[in-house]
Amino acid sequence: MAGTNASAKKKNTKNTVLRVLLYVVVILICLFTLYPYFVTVCTALKSRAEIFSINGTIFPIKAIWSNFTDVWKLAPMSSYMLNSIVIAGGSTLLAMLCGIPAAYALSRMKFKGQTAFLGFVIVSQMFAPVVLLIGIYKVMMAFHLTNSIIGLIFINAAFNQAFAIWLLRGTFLSISPEMEQAATIDGCNRVHALLRILLPVAAPGIVTALIFVFINAWNEYTVALTLISTDTFKPLTVGINIFNGYNMIEWQYLFAASLYAIVPVVILFVGIEKNLVGGLTSGGVKG
Amino acid sequence: MKKKFKKVEPYIWILPSVLLMAVFILVPIVFVFRMALSDVSKAGLIKGFAGLENFRKVTSSSVFAMVLKNTLVWTVAVVGISTLLGFILAILLNNEFKGRKLARAVVVFPWATTLIVQASIWKFIIDTDYGTLNTLLMRLGIIDHAINWTPTAGAYFAWEIACGIFVTIPFVTFTVLSGLQSIDASYYEAAAVDGASYWQKMFQITIPLVRPNLTISTILNIIYVFNSFPIIWTITKGDPANRTDTLVTYLYKLAFYNGKQGQAAAVSVIGFLILLLCASLYMVSVLKKGDE
């Protein structure tokens, strides 16, 4: 009896040690992950002189909040912000308008070429725009969209089709088609069945796809850098580099402006984190 | 009439999506192939068929071998190390503990942050003269004078790889985590009854069951990392002397800085073929998974 007690005690101590170790490791990882963000915030609040001084500081000696308002005066930040919103919003809308019907067909109908289409969707996911930039540039020239926000919307929507269709198809397949079938028998056509019955039930999956496409388009850099030459047409990701000159980098402004670009999406991302992972992996399993 | 409509109907539903992808993905692919096989002027006009001349020019340049090697090192190092670390992190986060939700929210941060900003931050952190890494280590008393973290091109490249790993870990972690959470607890209970050790459970239950998730995250990451442009572009622009260039930064410079669009297209095609190989591996594994 005493023996089992002692071994139970030993096991308990071992568990406590493991537990403490787990906390320590997780806290260290979190601190490490947050370090770049900590640096960003502190630097955004410093003066230029403090950043470049020989005696570097960790925290700002005195927080200069005006850096956050100065960037709006020094650069067309309001245009950048508006452009980012329009590009991300427009791309999301277009990606959904094309993606929802396609995902619906893939999950509710049987047709010739279905596998081929699905295969192309998967393969298209593999090609980042950067490899095709020269080709994209030629297409944009043909449409006179080289220096235009509309052009960026089309590109972002196209390159996010794969993910949107994949995620939406997975969501639709997980919902039983019985309700829609009942509705169609009652004389409701497919469009109505989709809008009134399926979409409300599929809302969580749709919101996830929506936010994910929005974030991707908001964070896109390479295509915008290549296609847009007029300063006031640039999105935030490209525009903020106005503070990142060849000879001199205005770190305090660059980071203050960067925070405007990253805070909204980090919040959105934390919000969908749970659904997103399920969508990324399960989409491939179902069906 | 109605029967006929039923046959065409699915194609009407997929038409917008097909059009969008055809015009903005398929057509660029065709253009890239055409330019790679053509004699292209500095202004980007096609002057005539050139056969494999662009490929010959690209592959015969001594820089190309180095760029290809860099791309391989970059992709393998970033994907390999972040898969290992991301997997370990997922195992840690799969434990029940107070503040787990908060920890998961923090871990997702680097995934959400645009790469261009991430890269700028790291460039600032490692700067020799005023970077915060030196400041932090000096304040903590670990070092007593500023260290030059980037004495060579290789050191720069290593930091770029570190930055790549930092931003890639969350994707691995969350993909694996979703697999871990779907494992039935009864497997572990049965194993515990049999007196299985921690490592036996790890290698005989956990790893086999999350393998599909690891496969997906690894293959997708190979493609994302291979194509990753902003990190290297922000920190070194591939300099000095192409020593930190990967395929995508190299082709970008060829096309948009040096006016060698034909050669850039050839590099694109080479990259495209490498990716196609990865894509088919991915497709095979996904479709195989669907059959099971």
Do the domain assignments include residue A59?
Answer: no
Alpha helices by DSSP H, chain A: 2-44, 48-52, 66-74, 77-108, 114-124, 129-142, 149-173, 178-185, 190-192, 199-201, 203-219, 222-227, 236-239, 251-282
Do the domain assignments include residue A67?
Answer: no
Do the domain assignments include residue A65?
Answer: no
What ipTM is given for this predicted complex?
A: 0.85
Distance from CA of A250 to the nearest CA of B (A): 11
- The DSSP annotation for chain B comes to -HHHHHHHHHHHHHHHHHHHHIIIIIHHHHHHHHHHTEEE-TTS-EEEE-TTHHHHHHHHSHHHHHHHHHHHHHHHHHHHHHHHHHHHHHHHHTS--TTHHHHHHHHHHHHHS-HHHHHHHHHHHT-TTT-HHHHHHHHTTS-SS---S-SSHHHHHHHHHHHHHHHHHHHHHHHHHHHHHTS-HHHHHHHHHTT--HHHHIIIIIHHHHHHHHHHHHHHHHHHHHT--HHHHHHTTT-STTTT--HHHHHHHHHHTS--HHHHHHHHHHHHHHHHHHHHHHHHHHHHHHH-
Tally A–B CB contacts below 8 A: 269
Q: Are residues A225 and A267 in the same domain?
A: yes
Q: Any CB–CB contact under 8 A between B239 and chain A? A: no
Q: Are residues A167 and A238 in the same domain?
A: yes
Residue of B18, B20, B139 with shortest CB distance to A58: B139
Query: Does the reported pTM lie above 0.90?
Result: no
The verdict on a CB contact (< 8 Å) between A132 and B28 is: yes
Do the domain assignments include residue A223?
Answer: yes
Do the domain assignments include residue A234?
Answer: yes
Q: Are residues A181 and A98 in the same domain?
A: yes
Tell which residue, B121, B26, B78, has the closest CA to residue A259: B121
Count of structural domains within chain A: 2
Residue of A36, A114, A273 with shortest CB distance to B105: A273
pLDDT digit of tens for each residue in chain B (292 aa)? 667 777 888 999 999 999 999 999 999 999 999 999 988 887 777 788 888 888 998 888 889 999 999 999 999 999 999 999 999 999 999 888 888 888 988 988 888 889 999 999 999 999 888 888 988 888 888 888 888 888 888 999 999 999 999 999 998 998 888 888 878 888 888 888 888 888 888 888 888 888 888 887 888 888 889 989 999 999 998 888 888 999 999 999 998 888 888 999 999 999 888 888 876 776 676 666 555 4
Distance from CA of B122 to the nearest CA of A (A): 7
pLDDT at A146 over 50: yes
Do the domain assignments include residue A265?
Answer: yes
Q: Are residues A39 and A176 in the same domain?
A: no
Q: Are residues A13 and A135 in the same domain?
A: no
- Is the domain spanning B59-291 CATH 1.10.3720.10? The answer is yes
Q: What's the pLDDT tens digit per position in A208-245?
A: 888 889 988 999 999 999 999 999 999 999 999 889 87
The verdict on a CB contact (< 8 Å) between A161 and B107 is: no
Nearest residue of B to residue A42 by CA position? B132
Q: What tokens appear for A176 in the block?
A: 């039983």
Q: Spell out which residues of chain B touch residue A98, defining contact as CB-CB under 8 Å.
A: 16-17, 19-20
Q: Are residues A103 and A11 in the same domain?
A: no
Q: Are residues A226 and A153 in the same domain?
A: yes
Q: Are residues A33 and A139 in the same domain?
A: no
Residue of B104, B113, B248 with shortest CB distance to A273: B104
Q: Any CB–CB contact under 8 A between B74 and chain A? A: no
Range of the domain at A232: 76-282
Q: Are residues A25 and A82 in the same domain?
A: no
Q: Are residues A212 and A115 in the same domain?
A: yes
Nearest residue of A to residue B237 by CA position? A246
Burial class (CB in 10 A: 0-12, 13-18, 19+), B85: middle
- pLDDT level of residue A287 (50, 70, 90 thresholds): very low
Q: What tokens appear for A264 in the block?
A: 């909204």
Domain of A197, CATH number, reads 1.10.3720.10
- The DSSP annotation for A35-81 comes to HHHHHHHHHHTS-HHHHHSSS--SS-SS--THHHHHHHHHS-HHHHH
Q: Are residues A25 and A83 in the same domain?
A: no
Do the domain assignments include residue A60?
Answer: no
Euclidean distance between CA atoms B157 and B240, whole angstroms: 11
Q: What's the pLDDT tens digit per position in B43-80?
A: 777 788 888 888 998 888 889 999 999 999 999 999 99
Do the domain assignments include residue A17?
Answer: yes
Q: Any CB–CB contact under 8 A between B31 and chain A? A: yes
Q: Give CA angle at A281 (A279, A285), nearest 5°.
A: 105
